[in-house]
Structure 1
Amino acid sequence: MISLEQFFDGAPAVHASAPGRVNLLGEHTDYNDGFMLPVATPQRTTVAIAPSGDDHFHFYADVLDETVTFQRQHHAPQGFGSYIEGCIRLMEEHKVEVPPLRVYTHTTLPVGSGLSSSAALEVAMLRALRELTGAQVDDVLLAQMAQQAEIRYAKVQCGIMDQMASSLADEEHMLFIDARSLEHRVLPLPPGAEIIVMDTGVPRKLAGSKYNERRSECNEAARLLGVQALRDVTDPDAVEKLPSPLRERARHVVRENLRVLEATRGVSAQRFGELMNESHFSLRDDYQVSIEELDVITARLREQDGVYGARLTGAGFGGACVALCEKGRAQAAAQAALERYNAGHRKGRVLIPELSHK
C-alpha cells in the first residue's frame, strides 16, 4: 500500500470527492430515457491529482493497491485506469488542456456492491480536473462527461442516473431525474422515514453481467413498439403483444417508470415501501436481474418491524439492497435482518446506517 504522501512525494495540487448513490426507485430505466429517484451515500470516493513532471500518467488506487502508468499519447489498460483516462480525454475534447498527471484514488464505497463506485470515481476525477484547470463545466455537463467516459473508455453501456446522482444528489433528499431531458429536482424523503442499505456479500461486475444484454433487449422492444424509447410507452398493456423475453423486459420498464412518477407526487412511507416491493418483484421476475441472496436479504428486511419495503438497488446480479424504514428504527431493523441473513453462512454487511457496537 502506498500512502498519499509517498505517491506525490509531498502534497497533491488538488483534492476532490464525490458520493456513491442508492437508487430508491427507477431501476434499469435510465438507458430507456426514463425516471429515477436516487439519493447520495455518505460513503465517498476522493481523488488527489498533481502534474506528473514527466510525459506519463501515473494512477494509483489504494483500494486495489494497483498502479497504472502509460505515456500521454497512449491509453490505460482496461481496469480502474480506463475510468480515469476517460475523464481526462473528455476534458480534452472540451478544449481543456490537461497535463500528464499523478492521480491517487481512495474510496470508502464498497466496490461491486451496486452503489456506483465507478460514477463516484468519474465525478470526483472530473471535479478535480475542473479545479486544476479552471474549466467551465457545470454539474450537469460534468455528469454527461462522466457517463461518456464510462461508455467509451470503460466499455460499459451505462445510463445517466449514476453520474447525475453523484454530481447533484445529497444524502438527505431524493433526486428526481428525467433521463431524457435531464430535468432534475430535489424532493423530500417520505415523511417519518429513513433508509437502510445492506450488501449481500456477493460482488457484482457490471460489464461482465447481463447489463448490456438487457439494454439491447429494451432497444429491440422499443423498435417493435414503434417508439424512440420505452419511456414513451405509458400503457403497460401495450407491451403484452411483444414476444418473450422482450415482453417481460418492457413490462418492468414501463411499470417502473409509473412507480417513480407516483412516488414523486408525494406518497406515505407505507405506500413508498409498497412501490419498492413491487419494484423488486418486477426486477426478479420480469427483468431477471436478481439472485437468491438479493431475494433473501430483502425478505429478511421486510420481516422487521418498522420496515416499509425493500428492493435490490443497482443493476442487480449481486451487490446491495435498499429498504425504507420508520425513522429511528433503522439500526435495530438492519442488525436483526443481518443476523438472520448471515445465519445461512453468508457474509452480508450493513452499509447504511453505520451500526453502533455497544
Structure 2
Amino acid sequence: MKGGVSPSFQELFGHRPEVVTHAPGRVNLIGEHTDYNGGFVLPMAIPQQTHVELRRRGDRRVRAFSTNKSAAGEILEYEIGQESTGKGWLDYVQGVTHVLQLAGFPLSGFELRITSEVPLGSGLSSSASLDVSLLRALREAFALPLDDVQLALLGQRVEVEFVGAPVGVMDPMAASIAGLNAALFLDTHTMRFERVPLPPGVDPVIINSGVAHNHSAGDYRVRRAECERAAAQLGVSLLRDLTEADLPRAMALPEPLGRRVRHIVTENARVLATVSALRKGDLPGLGQLFYASHDSQRLDYEVSVPEIDLLVDLAREDADVHGARLTGGGFGGSVVMLAREGTGAAVARRIAERYAARSGQRPTILLPQPSGT
C-alpha cells in the first residue's frame, strides 16, 4: 500500500469486479450469551459495514486481498476444496467456501477484495459482517438459491465448524436481516423474529474500549461449556427451558454453574422486558434493564473487564445517560449506552475523554458517527 492508500480491485487483479456487496456490524442492545443457550436477543445493525468486491475465475483458485492494516497488504491464495485453518483473516474466506461446498453449492474460484469499517475485536461482530457480505457476493455471482436466514445459518457454520469459534446465531442473523433504526427481537431457538423500532427520545451511543477480544479464544469456550454442563445437570437440553422458579435448584449446582444459569435465565427475562419497554417508550425502565444486564455479566457471568466497567461507571455518573452495558461476547470490546435525545454525540465525547484519561486506553466512538464520516 503506497502512502497508506489501498490498491483498487482493478489495480490488484487487472479488471473490475462483477459483484459488490456489503453487510453491517451489529450492536446487541441486550441479551448476551443467550443465543447459544436457545434464548432471546435484541441486536441492531450499526452504520459500519464490511464491503466485498468479487469476480469469478475459470479455475478453482481463490485470490483474496484485505485492506485491513493487519493483513500485511498481500494477496493470499488457496484452492477451493483444499481449505485449511491457521491463515488468519483468510480463514473466514476459506470457511465460507468450505461450508458452501458441504451444503452442496457449486463454486468456481474467484478474486476478492475486502474492506471493513467494523473494528476487529470490538464486540460488534466484524467476523459475521465479513461472512455475510461474502456469502451475499457469492449468492449473487453464482446465483445460489439462498434466502437471508439461510445465509445467516451458513455464516454461523463458518465460525463454529471451520474457524472454531463456538458462537450462536445472533451475529450472522443481525448482519443479514437487522436494520439501523429498529432492534431485531429474535428467538434463537425457533428462529422467529420481528423488528421493534427504537422509541423517540433516545440516542444510541457505542464506545469501543480499545481492549480487543477473540471469540475463538478460551474464555468464551469455557462459558459455553459451563452452560452445557449446567443444562445437563439440571435435566434440560437448553438453559432457555428454565424459568426463575428453577433458580433455587440451579444455585445448588457446584460453583460457578449456578451463577452462569442465573445470568442466562434473568437475561432472557430482561430481553422480554426490554421489548416491552421499547414499545411503551419507557426510557428509565430501559436504563435500569441495561445496568442490571451489565451487573449480571460482571458478577454472574464474569465476562467484563475493568476497562468496560469503568465506561459503564462513567455512564452512570452522566445525567444524560439512561443506561449502559457491555455489548458482545465480553473480555473487552464495546459498551452500548442510551442517551437523552440530542445529547448522544456530546455524551460520547465526554465519556470517551474521561475514560481515556483514567484508563490509558484509546477509545473509539462508533455511534453517533462523527460528522463527515
Shorter-chain TM-score: what band?
Answer: over 0.9
Query: Which of these residues, 2, 8, 12, is aligned with residue 3 of structure 1?
Result: 8
Matched residues in 1 for 2:157 and 2:323: separation?
34
SS at match of 1:325: strand
Question: Which residue type is aligned with residue 316 of structure 2?
Answer: R
Question: Which residue type is aligned with residue 24 of structure 2?
Answer: P
**Cα-to-partner distance string for 1:111-169 (whole Å, 9 max, x where unaligned):** 11110000000000110011011111111111001100111111111100000000010
Task: Give runs of aligned pairs for residues 13-32 of structure 1, distance below 5 A.
Answer: 13-32=18-37
Task: Give runs of aligned pairs for residues 181-260 of structure 1, distance below 5 A.
Answer: 181-235=190-244, 236-260=247-271
Q: Which residue of 2 aligns with 1:302?
A: 316
Q: Shift of the alpha carbon at 1:238? A: 4.0
Matched residues in 2 for 1:66 and 1:32: separation?
39
Q: Which residue of 2 aligns with 1:169?
A: 178
Matched residues in 1 for 2:10 and 2:84: separation?
23
Deviates more, 1:235-244 or 1:205-214: 235-244
TM-score relative to the length of structure 1: 0.96
Matched residues in 1 for 2:132 and 2:26: separation?
12
Unaligned runs of 5+ in 1: none
SS at match of 1:75: coil
Runs of 4+ off more than 4 Å: none
SS at match of 1:241: coil
Q: Shift of the alpha carbon at 1:72? A: 2.8
Q: Which residue of 2 aligns with 1:321?
A: 335
SS at match of 1:20: strand
Matched residues in 1 for 2:250 and 2:123: separation?
28
Matched residues in 2 for 1:97 and 1:83: separation?
18
**Cα-to-partner distance string for 1:307-333 (whole Å, 9 max, x where unaligned):** 111011111111111001111110111
Matched residues in 1 for 2:208 and 2:142: separation?
37
Q: Shift of the alpha carbon at 1:89? A: 2.4
The number of equivalent residue pairs is 357
Q: Shift of the alpha carbon at 1:264? A: 1.6
Amino-acid identity (%): 39
* Equivalent residues of 1:175, 1:184 under 8 A apart: yes
SS at match of 1:228: coil
Matched residues in 1 for 2:166 and 2:283: separation?
33
Q: CA RMSD in A?
A: 1.4
Task: Give runs of aligned pairs for residues 60-75 of structure 1, distance below 5 A.
Answer: 60-63=65-68, 64=71, 65-75=73-83
Matched residues in 2 for 1:140 and 1:199: separation?
28
* Equivalent residues of 2:17, 2:55 under 8 A apart: yes
* Equivalent residues of 2:166, 2:215 under 8 A apart: no
Q: Shift of the alpha carbon at 1:209? A: 4.2
Deviates more, 1:344-353 or 1:277-286: 344-353
Q: Which residue of 2 aligns with 1:349?
A: 364
Q: Which residue of 2 aligns with 1:272?
A: 286
Q: Which residue of 2 aligns with 1:147?
A: 156
Matched residues in 1 for 2:74 and 2:313: separation?
37
Q: Shift of the alpha carbon at 1:273? A: 1.1
SS at match of 1:171: coil
Query: Which of these residues, 17, 21, 44, is aligned with residue 12 of structure 1?
Result: 17
Question: Which residue type is aligned with residue 283 of structure 1?
Answer: Q
TM-score relative to the length of structure 2: 0.92
